[in-house]
Amino acid sequence: MKNGDRGPGTGYRAASAAAAALAVLLVACAKPAVPVRLGGLGRAKVLTGERAAKAIGTLHGSDVAPQRSFVADYGRRGELRLYVSDFAGAAGAQRALSAMLAGLQGGGTPFRPPRRDRRWPDRWFTIGPGGHHAVWVSGASVYWLAGAPARLERAMDELPAPAHGEWI
């Protein structure tokens, strides 16, 4: 071995360790999927992963949510509830949203058919159990937010917005 050569594979191991450390750092610094505060309310409860996916699946009557899902309640009396499901890509999120909208349009649910509002053209709104609801796609995530209209308006402005024409 030449002076300074540590042997075969040493550079690969060092690069792998550096990449792993960078990944941990990026995850630690990443913005949380569900904020600590939303619409002026503190987060009271949060479900993540399999527990959240099961809770979402129970609402739909089937396993529809990916494992990277979140359900969060905000306020002392649950004034807001946020559901977030992160899909492998934007196309998966768009397919999930399209399926939800088709199901809501078809009736047979406790929700009114979804509609758009010109103030938020890339979001859909409905009324049903839990009050008023807004649903949209941002990137690879589907967001469903439930609560009183004034709370929804404020909270939507604090969550990732869809790009115009991103899904439809």
Tell me the pLDDT of the chain (168 aa) as tens digits.
555 555 555 555 555 555 444 444 333 334 447 899 999 999 999 988 788 777 776 675 555 665 678 989 899 998 999 989 888 999 999 998 998 899 888 888 889 999 998 888 889 999 999 899 999 999 999 998 999 999 999 999 999 988 665 443
Residue 168: per-residue pLDDT: 39
Residue 164: per-residue pLDDT: 60
* Angstrom distance (rounded) from CA 29 to CA 33: 12
Looking at the domain 32-156, which fold is it? Answer: Protein Transport Mog1p; Chain A (3.40.1000)
Model pTM greater than 0.85?
no
Burial group, residue 24, by CB count within 10 angstroms (0-12, 13-18, 19+): exposed
